[in-house]
Homo-oligomer: A and B are copies of this chain.
């Protein structure tokens, strides 16, 4: 399992409001059985690397179908093989260190 962050940015949209595009992109996730979290700056997902790349590719494609001519996609994957990496576990580990001090 890996944890990844995806940001899809449409360029040349005339309006600086992008939430309708973010929503379109976000709907891709409904077709996958993965844990995800919408944050103010990105979408975070928890899945194996193959699935993450598959989802990122699909999310990158969505806005072209909406007539957008240029899309910038940022994908950041954090994968660990010596122990399980999960969205919940990552936050919990930091919170415990903060409380322990």
Contacts and interface: CB of A to CB of B under 8 A. Distances in A.
A84 interface: no
Contact of A16 (B12, B16, B26): B12
Interface in A14-43: 14-20, 22-23, 26-27, 37-42
30 contacts: A4-B41, A9-B9, A9-B11, A11-B18, A12-B14, A13-B13, A13-B14, A16-B69, A16-B70, A16-B82, A19-B90, A19-B94, A23-B97, A27-B98, A38-B95, A39-B44, A40-B44, A40-B46, A40-B86, A40-B87, A41-B42, A41-B44, A49-B60, A53-B57, A69-B81, A69-B82, A72-B76, A72-B77, A74-B74, A75-B76
Interface of A: 3-5, 9, 11-20, 22-23, 26-27, 37-42, 44, 46, 49-50, 53, 56-57, 60-61, 64, 69-82, 86-88, 90-91, 93-98, 101
